[in-house]
């Protein structure tokens, strides 16, 4: 009998790159031993020393798995097709990057030698990395390790989107920037670090916010998008751009000591909206600036994202597709939850209602700057220098600091009373209803909430100090440290 044997991509390297081969034999056992004789290297990958089929390979005859049968008794018929399917490798790639026409210079071969000797990467994989492009949204905590490792690994083109400048308080985690970079645009500083590490990378910078207006144009030429954002409007925007452009979105987020990571790709699995159809109300989840973050955590989560990115570009391994990884750095646990595509997802479901980009500020319930200003004026605000003048004059008012004790320990305004936002309800007895009150926090957000709470229960004279103690440090007393 003559049968056709299909050799999977992952095993072809051991079979002179043969895709299919016709072999003789009366049983599956005979066919496979003829195959092994023809390709001795393949033999060691398929069979153990005592001739048993290795656990990670399945054998299909005419599309039926025959692993459980005795191969030497399984008779084949003329023209039958035998397919080898390795259980782990191959077939899991979600992108197919073409490395056609890409060459590596001798310098690159030396640089990437530890990759080149990995069979899963090799010359072919390294060329794929060189041929590929990754867009990083944000060059902060997550973007720093992402950009450095992707550049070091040899990704050919990196796009950086960020509008921010390097702040001293960023350096605790944003390791792509240095002390000398404080005050410089982040994309400039990041580009310099990347090129210092690997001059072969093409770095394209976009000094802008990632918005509905520019997102599609920026993202359309990249193979994958990696989400290193720190706010919900941009996160939903990144998701929607990826779904509409049919690109994988490598997701990561961090807060305090915990992180999340996943790969969203609506073509093959769920998207971010399948997991979180709606954002939390504004103010419910504090930002890292308000809530803090362990400096190492974005490194941990960013490297999971970088690993996923490289795997997708190489077409190797099992991506975090349909899986949400929960990282807890205090307990040092990595939990994994299964994610399913939501058929009623508004953008990737059966009847999508979102077919183009929307207003993400509005979607996330964040009022436009003008509205926010109007609301603030309505409730009453006072500037830091005005508060200073009233204190100096000895005016009769109480300055209430609504931050937490550990923030009060860092810095405080002389003469203020600490009542954390979370305790205001239970400590109203300490505040006379008819006294003048000025509230402040770190940047003005929490104190605006405190002001609204007090006004609601009948306090008539409550002013919010604009910009919080950070503004105090800028405008009144620079000896007060910023944090
Ligand atoms: Zn979805």
The reported pLDDT for the residue numbered 71 is: 82
Is the pLDDT higher at 333 or at 15?
333
141 and 69, same domain (yes or no): no
Count of domains forming the chain: 3
Find the domain containing 423 and state its range. Answer: 369-475
Q: Give the span between the Cα atoms of 471 and 483, in whole angstroms.
A: 12
263 and 410, same domain (yes or no): no
Q: The whole model's pTM is what?
A: 0.72
Is the pLDDT higher at 300 or at 91?
300
Tell me, in angstroms, the distance from the centre of ligand 1 to residue 243's CA: 8
Catalytic residue among 242, 271, 288, 411: 288
**Percent above pLDDT 90 for the chain:** 68
353 and 399, same domain (yes or no): no
Tell me, in angstroms, the distance from the centre of ligand 1 to residue 233's CA: 16
265's CB contacts (< 8 A; 6+ apart) are 94, 242, 247, 248, 249, 271, 319, 321
Residue 470 belongs to some domain of the structure:
yes
286 and 153, same domain (yes or no): yes
Looking at 363, 381, 399, the residue that finishes a domain is 363
**Percent above pLDDT 70 for the chain:** 94
237 and 274, same domain (yes or no): yes
**Is 219 strand, coil or helix?**
helix
356 and 383, same domain (yes or no): no
Quick: pLDDT tens for 251-265.
999 989 999 999 999
Quick: pLDDT tens for 101-159.
999 999 999 999 999 999 999 999 999 999 999 999 999 999 999 999 999 999 999 99
Identify the CATH number of the domain in which residue 247 sits: 3.40.50.720
The reported pLDDT for the residue numbered 6 is: 84
Is position 348 annotated as part of the catalytic site?
no
343 and 323, same domain (yes or no): yes
The reported pLDDT for the residue numbered 89 is: 36
Is the pLDDT higher at 287 or at 349?
349
Looking at 27, 53, 86, the residue that finishes a domain is 86
* pLDDT above 50 (res 380): yes
Residue 187 belongs to some domain of the structure:
yes
The reported pLDDT for the residue numbered 376 is: 62
The reported pLDDT for the residue numbered 301 is: 97
Lowest average pLDDT, out of 126-130, 145-149, 190-194, 412-416, goes to 412-416
151 and 54, same domain (yes or no): no
Tell me, in angstroms, the distance from the centre of ligand 1 to residue 455's CA: 41
Is position 345 annotated as part of the catalytic site?
no
The per-residue pLDDT of the chain, averaged, comes to 90
Tell me, in angstroms, the distance from the centre of ligand 1 to residue 269's CA: 8
Quick: pLDDT tens for 208-266.
999 999 999 999 999 999 999 989 999 999 999 999 999 999 999 998 999 999 999 99
Lowest average pLDDT, out of 101-115, 191-205, 272-286, 419-433, goes to 272-286
Token pair, residue 372, equals 């926010």
| Helix or strand (DSSP H, E) at 145 | helix 143-153
223 and 356, same domain (yes or no): yes
Identify the CATH number of the domain in which residue 423 sits: 3.40.250.10
394's CB contacts (< 8 A; 6+ apart) are none
Residue 93 belongs to some domain of the structure:
no
Identify the CATH number of the domain in which residue 53 sits: 3.10.20.30
Residue 105 belongs to some domain of the structure:
no
Residue among 14, 150, 3, 4 at smallest CA distance from 90: 14
Q: Give the span between the Cα atoms of 273 and 239, in whole angstroms.
A: 8
Residue 259 belongs to some domain of the structure:
yes
Catalytic residue among 242, 271, 274, 441: 441
Cβ–Cβ under 8 Å, residues 258 and 329: yes
Residue 92 belongs to some domain of the structure:
no
Looking at 55, 86, 117, the residue that finishes a domain is 86
Tell me, in angstroms, the distance from the centre of ligand 1 to residue 92's CA: 21
70 and 154, same domain (yes or no): no
The reported pLDDT for the residue numbered 372 is: 62
Number of Cα atoms under 13 Å in the Cβ half of residue 460: 3
Tell me, in angstroms, the distance from the centre of ligand 1 to residue 326's CA: 19
Residue 113 belongs to some domain of the structure:
no
280 and 148, same domain (yes or no): yes
Residue 397 belongs to some domain of the structure:
yes
């Amino acid at each position: 009998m003559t049968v056709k044997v299909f050799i999977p991509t992952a095993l072809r390297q051991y079979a002179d790159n043969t895709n299919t081969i016709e072999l003789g034999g009366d049983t599956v056992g005979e066919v496979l031993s003829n195959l092994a004789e023809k390709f001795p290297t393949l033999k060691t990958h398929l069979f153990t020393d005592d001739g048993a089929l290795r656990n990670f390979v399945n054998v299909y005859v005419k599309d039926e798995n025959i692993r459980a049968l005795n191969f030497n008794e399984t008779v084949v018929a003329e023209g039958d097709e035998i397919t080898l399917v390795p259980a782990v490798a191959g077939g899991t790639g979600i992108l197919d990057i073409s490395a056609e026409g890409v060459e590596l210079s001798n310098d690159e071969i030396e640089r990437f030698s530890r990759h080149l000797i990995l069979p899963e990467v090799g010359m072919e994989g390294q060329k794929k990395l060189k041929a590929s492009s990754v867009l990083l949204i944000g060059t902060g905590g997550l973007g720093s390790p992402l950009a450095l490792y992707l550049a070091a690994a040899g990704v050919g083109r990196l796009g950086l989107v960020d509008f921010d400048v390097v702040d001293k308080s960023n350096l605790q985690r944003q390791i792509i920037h240095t002390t000398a970079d404080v005050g410089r645009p982040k994309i400039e500083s990041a580009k310099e670090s990347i090129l210092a590490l690997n001059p072969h990378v093409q770095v394209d910078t976009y000094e802008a916010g990632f918005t509905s207006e520019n997102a599609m144009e920026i993202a359309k030429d990249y193979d994958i998008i990696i989400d290193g954002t720190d706010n919900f409007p941009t996160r939903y925007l990144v998701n929607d751009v990826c779904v509409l452009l049919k690109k994988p979105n490598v997701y990561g987020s961090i807060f305090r000591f915990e992180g999340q990571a996943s790969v969203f790709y609506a073509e093959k699995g769920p998207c971010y909206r399948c997991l979180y159809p709606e954002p939390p109300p504004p103010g419910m989840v504090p930002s890292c600036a308000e809530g803090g973050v362990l400096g190492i955590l974005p490194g941990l989560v960013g490297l999971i994202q970088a690993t996923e990115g490289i795997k997708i570009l190489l077409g190797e391994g099992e991506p975090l597709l349909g899986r949400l990884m929960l990282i807890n750095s205090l307990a040092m646990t990595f939990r994994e939850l299964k994610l399913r595509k939501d058929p009623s997802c508004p953008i990737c479901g059966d009847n999508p209602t979102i077919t183009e980009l929307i207003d993400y500020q509005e979607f996330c319930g964040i009022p436009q700057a003008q509205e926010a200003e109007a609301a603030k004026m309505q409730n009453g605000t006072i500037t830091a220098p005005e508060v200073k003048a009233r204190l100096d004059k000895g005016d009769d008012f109480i300055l209430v600091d609504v931050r937490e004790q550990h923030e009060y320990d860092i810095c405080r305004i002389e003469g203020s009373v600490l009542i954390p936002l979370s305790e205001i309800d239970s400590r109203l007895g300490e505040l006379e209803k008819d006294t003048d009150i000025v509230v402040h926090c770190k940047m003005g957000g929490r104190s605006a909430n405190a002001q609204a709470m007090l006004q609601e229960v009948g306090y008539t004279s409550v002013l919010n100090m604009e910009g919080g103690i950070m503004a105090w440090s800028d405008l009144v007393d620079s000896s007060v440290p910023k944090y």
